[in-house]
C-alpha cells in the first residue's frame, strides 16, 4: 500500500471482513492512519521504573518458549483481519535460538492454510495495569508480512473489542520496512489514534531496535531506541461502566505475533520471500 485509505472507506472494508469471520476475543491489530510528527520531542525514561517481569529468552537453542510466561493463540479463520496464516504452538514456528525468541512465518500447507506462524500471549501469566513495556526486536519484512507487539485487555470489562481497548506498542507492514506505528483503539463505534516513526536510514529488519511504551493513568508515551515520538492523553469510553481514563484503567496482557496477509498490509506476492523471522532479544516490564 503506497498511501493510506480514507478512514470511512477503510472502516467499511474492515467491517465487511470482520462480519465474515468467526468472532474473536483477541483480534490482531488494525491499521492506524497517522499524521506524521515532523519534530517529535526527545525523552529519556525516568529512573523510578522497577523491573517486575521479564523474559530474556536464554534457553537452549531449539527449545520451546517458557510456558510459565507465555501461552499460544492457535488457529486460522482470518483473526478479524482477513489474515492467511494458521497460528500454531509448534517449535516449527516459535523457538529459542542464540538467546532470542524466534517467531517464524512459513509457507506450507497446514490444515487448509497456506502459511503458518505463531502468536504468543502472556494472558493469565503476565497482566498489568500501567507500566513501561520494553521489547528489543528485529523485524521481518516483505509484502503481506505484519509483525506486531501489542496488548489487549485481560478482563474485557467494558465490552467486546474495541470497547475494552487495544494498545499497539509496535506494528510494521512489511512493504514499509523502515516505518513502525503506535496506536490506541477504543470506543463504539471503533476509534483509533496513533502516529508513526521512520528510521533516518536503514530498516527495522537489518538490526535490533528497542520499542517501548510507558503507560500511566492519563498518558501513553511511545519510544523507539529511547526516542520519544508520540504521546496520547485523550480518549473516551462508550461503556456506562466507567469514565475516563476507561477503558485504559484495567489490566492488559502482551501479545507477540507475525501475521501473513490482511486488510492493512495486503497479501504476499511474488516478491515475498519465506520463511520470515521476527527475533525478540528480550521483553521487560517495569512499574513504579
Half-sphere exposure of 188 (CA within 13 A, CB side): 12
201 a catalytic residue:
no
The distance from CA 18 to its chain's CA centroid, rounded to whole angstroms, is 18
Give me the catalytic one of 22, 83, 134, 171: 171
The beta-strand segments (E) located in the chain are: 50-55, 71-72, 85-87, 94-97, 100-110, 113-117, 119-121, 127-128, 131-138, 145-153, 166-171, 179-186, 191-198, 209-216, 219-224, 227-232, 252-260, 276-287
Per the CB < 8 A criterion, the answer to whether 96 and 64 are in contact is yes
- The position carrying cell 480514507 is 6
Per the CB < 8 A criterion, the answer to whether 126 and 253 are in contact is yes
Give me the catalytic one of 22, 108, 134, 166: 166
166 a catalytic residue:
yes
Q: Please give the angle made by the CA atoms of 184, 52 and 163, to the nearest 5 degrees.
A: 25
- Would you name the residues annotated as active-site residues? 166, 171
Amino acid at each position: 500500500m503506497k498511501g493510506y485509505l480514507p478512514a470511512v472507506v477503510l472502516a467499511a472494508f474492515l467491517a465487511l471482513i470482520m462480519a465474515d469471520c468467526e468472532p474473536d476475543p483477541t483480534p490482531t491489530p488494525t491499521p492506524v492512519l497517522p499524521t506524521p510528527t515532523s519534530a517529535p520531542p526527545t525523552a529519556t525514561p525516568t529512573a523510578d521504573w522497577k523491573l517486575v517481569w521479564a523474559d530474556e529468552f536464554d534457553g537452549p537453542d531449539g527449545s520451546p518458549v517458557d510456558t510459565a510466561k507465555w501461552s499460544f493463540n492457535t488457529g486460522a479463520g482470518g483473526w478479524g483481519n482477513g489474515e492467511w496464516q494458521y497460528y500454531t504452538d509448534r517449535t516449527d514456528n516459535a523457538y529459542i535460538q542464540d538467546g532470542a525468541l524466534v517467531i517464524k512465518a512459513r509457507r506450507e500447507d497446514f490444515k487448509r492454510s497456506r502459511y503458518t506462524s505463531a502468536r504468543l500471549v502472556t494472558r493469565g501469566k503476565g497482566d498489568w495495569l500501567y507500566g513501561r513495556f520494553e521489547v528489543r526486536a528485529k523485524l521481518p519484512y516483505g509484502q503481506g508480512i505484519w509483525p506486531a507487539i501489542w496488548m489487549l485487555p485481560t478482563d474485557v470489562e467494558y465490552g467486546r473489542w474495541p470497547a475494552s481497548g487495544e494498545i499497539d506498542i509496535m506494528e510494521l507492514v512489511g512493504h514499509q520496512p523502515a516505518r513502525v506505528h503506535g496506536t490506541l483503539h477504543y470506543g463504539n463505534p471503533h476509534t483509533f489514534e496513533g502516529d508513526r516513526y521512520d528510521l533516518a536510514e536503514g530498516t527495522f529488519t537489518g538490526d535490533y531496535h528497542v520499542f517501548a511504551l510507558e503507560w500511566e493513568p492519563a498518558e501513553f508515551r511511545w519510544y523507539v531506541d529511547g526516542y520519544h515520538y508520540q504521546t496520547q492523553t485523550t480518549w473516551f469510553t462508550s461503556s456506562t461502566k466507567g469514565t475516563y481514563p476507561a477503558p485504559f484503567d484495567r489490566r492488559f496482557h502482551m501479545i507477540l505475533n507475525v501475521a501473513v496477509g490482511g486488510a492493512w498490509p495486503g497479501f504476499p506476492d511474488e516478491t515475498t520471500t519465506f520463511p520470515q523471522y521476527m527475533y525478540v532479544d528480550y521483553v521487560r516490564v517495569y512499574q513504579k
